[in-house]
Structure 1
Amino acid sequence: MSRASRRTVGSLAVMVLIVGAYFVSRGDADGLLEDLPTGGTSTAAITRDRVEASDLEAGSTQLERLDVAELDDAPGYEREQFGQRWADIDRNGCDQRNDTLRAGASEGKVTTKPGTHDCVVLEATIEDPYTGREIAFVKGENTVDIDHIVPLSRAWQQGAAQWDEDRREEFANTPENLVAVDASANRSKGDSGPEEWLPEAGRCMYVVQWIDVKTTYELAVTAAEKNVLEGELEACEGSAE
């Protein structure tokens, strides 16, 4: 092969590498990137968390049993309708906010306020299920929020408006509906349902928990909400253990 031919072949090879890298970075190559998150601004690929196959099966069964109805435009929603913020409903001497912070912290990475029986969390390293990152929590700083997986206003429109005050306070403080997460991720979610927003990471567990809370409290789902949940459960089957 002549020197000119070798230069031509070399140039073509470089072009192929550049074009290939471009499409990989865009996620256009088959199998390299999965669908992007519904909410948030990240363009990172979604890595679906591994969950038990039995959890997915249970979630699918529960979802089929939920009532399907459009959001009820019930008037009167206010946060106060759901009782005391961070009540101690499990009677362990610590409010649900601090219980949730400890539950979401990395083992051994929690500092509590002296004299509070290890209740009030001053600092912690939070394992955020919504972004897949560790977050440094310091009391008084706005780095970590306690999210209601099924938002209170959403619950109000799907059945909670008919509950009594005790039932609503229980719902607002039950550990099954609370999680410590990145503050910006939580605020991008707002009061959205899964048809409008899903986390970057931890989607499988998120939809399983969403369905479980809806089932426990007999809350309805919209048709669009159900459709997205069904799709996510199906997508999670490949990551099931």
Structure 2
Amino acid sequence: MLRGVAALSLALTPLTVPQTALAASAVPAVAEVLALADAVQQIPVADESRDGYSREKFRHWNTGLDPADGCNTRAEVLLTEAIEAPTVSAGCKLTGGRWISYYDGQEITDPGKLDIDHMVPLAEAWDSGASAWDAKRREAYANDQTAATSLVAVSARSNRQKADQDPREWMPLASEATCRYLGEWVGTKLRWGLAADQGEIDALTVYADGPCETAVVHYTPAP
């Protein structure tokens, strides 16, 4: 319902929407850039709960950004992150190609040996606020390709070592990946409005005030 328009005016003149309102509705979310220490302070602190969690409550993989290409989200991420493009055959079957798993520095040439990792794991997202989302938003989270850091192709071994752990419990094996990983973790939490418990905040702060004090977080709030 339009506000500030008298009923009599509606009866006498055609209904129009001001151009300023149209412009405002089309404005995309603004990208944020913060120092890691400042970004950590923006994360809401709350106790976590896994009550009711099921991986099936996050539908993935869906048809991806382009349903017409025949590839699901997993395949589209592999194609996007490949250093050397794989061959794509019928049914979006990928063969060959080359990737670097930044968690452990491994070079991988077999798509089957790669996992697509949710930067903030589904279970951790549930604990941190996604339990209150509807199914559509959880699906959007699980297939988020509109932020380059939400999903990442990494070695299956490193992804399974990480499992559903937060940075207090697990960090990438490659030490040079530490600050990048923390920046992407924090950026994902801020993008989706997810919380962190005090232990996680404390761990992030240790890095943000120490070895990663020059790290920068880039994120855009999710729609």
1:177 is matched with: 150
Q: 1: distance between equivalents of 2:64 and 2:74?
A: 11
Superposed CA offset, 1:122-169 (max 9, x none): 22211111011211224xx4x211111100011111100100111000
Q: 1: distance between equivalents of 2:42 and 2:127?
A: 19
Q: Is the 8 A contact 1:89 1:170 kept in 2?
A: no
1:223 is matched with: 198
Q: 2: distance between equivalents of 1:56 and 1:237?
A: 11
Q: Is the 8 A contact 1:82 1:165 kept in 2?
A: yes
Q: Note the C-alpha offset of 1:81.
A: 0.5
Superposed CA offset, 1:3-53 (max 9, x none): xxxxxxxxxxxxxxxxxxxxxxxxxxxxxxxxxxxxxxxxxxxxxxxxxxx
Q: Compute the TM-score of the two structures, normalised by the length of structure 2.
A: 0.72
1:43 is matched with: none
Q: Which runs of 5+ in 2 are unaligned?
A: 1-31, 217-223
Q: 2: distance between equivalents of 1:55 and 1:103?
A: 24
Q: Note the C-alpha offset of 1:171.
A: 0.4
Q: 1: distance between equivalents of 2:119 and 2:153?
A: 10
2:99 is matched with: 126
Whether 1:235 and 2:211 are equivalent positions in the alignment is: yes
Whether 1:199 and 2:176 are equivalent positions in the alignment is: no
**RMSD, matched Cα:** 2.2
Q: 2: distance between equivalents of 1:181 and 1:55?
A: 25
Whether 1:100 and 2:77 are equivalent positions in the alignment is: yes
Residue 210 of structure 1 aligns to which amino acid in structure 2?
Answer: W
User: Which residue of 56, 59, 62 corresponds with 1:87?
Assistant: 62
Q: 2: distance between equivalents of 1:64 and 1:105?
A: 34
2:12 is matched with: none
2:109 is matched with: 136
Percent identity (aligned)? 34
Give the number of the structure whose alpha-carbon radius of gyration is greater: 1
Q: Note the C-alpha offset of 1:220.
A: 0.5
Q: Compute the TM-score of the two structures, normalised by the length of structure 1.
A: 0.67
Q: 2: distance between equivalents of 1:239 and 1:170?
A: 27
Q: 1: distance between equivalents of 2:109 and 2:159?
A: 16
Q: Note the C-alpha offset of 1:238.
A: 6.0
Q: 2: distance between equivalents of 1:88 and 1:206?
A: 27
1:154 is matched with: 124
* Helix, strand or coil at the partner of 1:100: helix
Q: Note the C-alpha offset of 1:232.
A: 2.1
Q: Which runs of 5+ in 1 are unaligned?
A: 1-53
Residue 62 of structure 1 aligns to which amino acid in structure 2?
Answer: A
1:18 is matched with: none
Q: Note the C-alpha offset of 1:227.
A: 1.6
Q: Is the 8 A contact 1:56 1:237 kept in 2?
A: no
Aligned pair count? 177
Residue 43 of structure 2 aligns to which amino acid in structure 1?
Answer: L
Whether 1:60 and 2:33 are equivalent positions in the alignment is: no
* Helix, strand or coil at the partner of 1:237: coil
Whether 1:189 and 2:166 are equivalent positions in the alignment is: no
Q: 1: distance between equivalents of 2:57 and 2:77?
A: 21
Q: 1: distance between equivalents of 2:131 and 2:137?
A: 10
Distance 1:183 1:152, change over 3 A: same
Residue 71 of structure 1 aligns to which amino acid in structure 2?
Answer: E
Distance 1:151 1:168, change over 3 A: same
Q: 1: distance between equivalents of 2:86 and 2:44?
A: 44
